[in-house]
Amino acid sequence: MPDTSKHPWEDAPRIPIQDCQKGRVYKLLSRNLQVGVYDGSEGFIGIRTKFGHRFLFTEYHWDQGPPHGTVAGVEDMGMRVPEEVPIKTNLGTVNKGTDRQVAWDQKRKWYYKDTGDSDDAIMPVGVANEALFKFLDGLGDDGMRDEYDFSNAKKYKVVKVQRGQKKDDRREGVPPEKGEVGTDS
């Protein structure tokens, strides 16, 4: 009879967090990710599929402990994310229509980062890291890298939809971000 007092992955071979290198790509032992890049502090960023959507997602290294440590690097794939590709799931928040960077705080509510001015008309949308998505997507399930030229890659694209918008109103060709609101068929 199997020992049910331990997690099934507890005895699996894995690379300790202190041996993982920021920007390196690893094959993973994870519920949601097969391949991911170590972010340098907490875990691995990979492509997750949920309800038919594919998006960048961070799972935290096993060494972080329960309940958050859910992924282990099991093999260094011998490659690094290109320097020009940020190692983040998203690249901030912008105002829809103007693409100006915005932020939130309790006092000002939504405000423009360049001027500090708040505005009730700001419609915040997340900015996806399209370059990292394309890099990881090119690895495929077998971990082999397809060629992709990052010299002309856009650093971001707006992908969130506002509450009540239909899927067709979203800019196409970019993975949705975590927490995206919208209707899908």
Pairing, β 53-61 against β 69-80:
parallel
Amino acid making up residue 5: S
Query: According to the model, what pLDDT value does residue 147 have?
Result: 42
Q: Which two tokens stand for residue 46?
A: 């990979």
For residues 160 and 165, what is the distance between their CA atoms, to the nearest angstrom? Answer: 10
> What is the pLDDT, as a whole number, of residue 110?
94
Q: What is the tens place of the pLDDT at every residue in 152-163? A: 433 333 333 344
Please report, for residues 94, 117, 164, the alpha-carbon distance to residue 105 in angstroms, rounded to integers and kept in the order given. Answer: 15, 12, 25
The domain spans of the chain are 17-80, 90-162
For 111-143, the pLDDT digits (tens) are: 999 999 999 999 999 999 999 999 999 886 544
Q: Quote the pTM value.
A: 0.68
Cα–Cα distance list, 26 to 11, 19, 62, 76 (Å): 18, 12, 14, 5
Which range scores top for mean pLDDT: 2-6, 126-130, 166-170? 126-130
| 179 has pLDDT over 60 | no
In this predicted structure, what is the pLDDT of residue 157?
36
Average pLDDT, the chain: 76
Q: What is the pLDDT of residue 70?
A: 82
Can you name the residues that pair with 169 across neighbouring β-strands? Answer: none
Give residue-wise pLDDT tens across range 61-91: 888 777 788 888 888 999 999 999 999 999 9
Residue in this structure with the two tokens 């006092």, named with its chain if needed: 107
